[in-house]
Homo-oligomer: A and B are copies of this chain.
Amino acid sequence: MPPPSTRVQLLDAAEHLFAERGFRGTSVRAITDRAGANLAAVGYHFGSKAELLAAVIRRVVEPINAAQNAGLDRLLARTPDPSVTDLVEAFAGPLFDEMPVGDEGGARTSRLIVTILGDPAEEMRAWTGPAEDTIRDRFLAAFGRALPGLSPEELWFRVRGILAVTAVDRVQAYQQDAPSGLSPVAGDAARQWAITFLAAALSAPPTGSRS
């Protein structure tokens, strides 16, 4: 059952437009026009605009989830207690690597992710499945072993920081005006900076502890 071309062209068009203008800022007509399809195609293939969004998100998130899981598997096969830096690399790396080709440094996809995470609308959080929870729990457990003495709450705070930094920073890097004289960041440079930044942040001593 090879998916008919119209289906993936709708997904491609929607992914571009949702990233560029947000969910509410993108009309079904704009999507079908860009895809060269009929207006009713969205209803036929996906049921509604919201379900089209869910399909778009799933297509973007699935390879990231898979790479995060595989990376953690690889790490745990080598040693039961990986270092913080290795864990950060396994978690944040796919957020840079698993981006569709043609997406300038992942900026467009990152913007899509931020649009999703930041949008308060209900439709935006309907896509999460058990896969996300599993990955989160696995990494939380591994980080917990690597960072003893950290309360579960503060650990959770720090792990959330990883997503915040990787996603938001890339978006801002491309859309917000940088100080004059700064060239736009190269994709792989940002990747290294993020790992450095986050490994140090995760490794900070627990907040309560005295120097």
Which residues of A are at the interface with B, using a C-beta cutoff of 8 A? 19-22, 24-25, 111, 114-115, 117-121, 125, 128, 133, 136-137, 140, 152-154, 156-158, 160-161, 163-165, 167-169, 171-173, 175-179, 181-183, 185, 189-190, 192-194, 196-201, 203-207
Contacts and interface: CB of A to CB of B under 8 A. Distances in A.
A112 B117 CA distance: 13
Which 3 residue pairs across A and B have the least CB separation, nearest first?
A200-B204, A118-B118, A201-B201
A82 to B, nearest CB: 18
A169 B164 contact: yes
Contacts of A183: 153
A154 B195 CA distance: 12
A51 B136 CA distance: 40
A161 B197 contact: yes
Contacts of A189: 153-154, 207
A182 B203 CA distance: 21
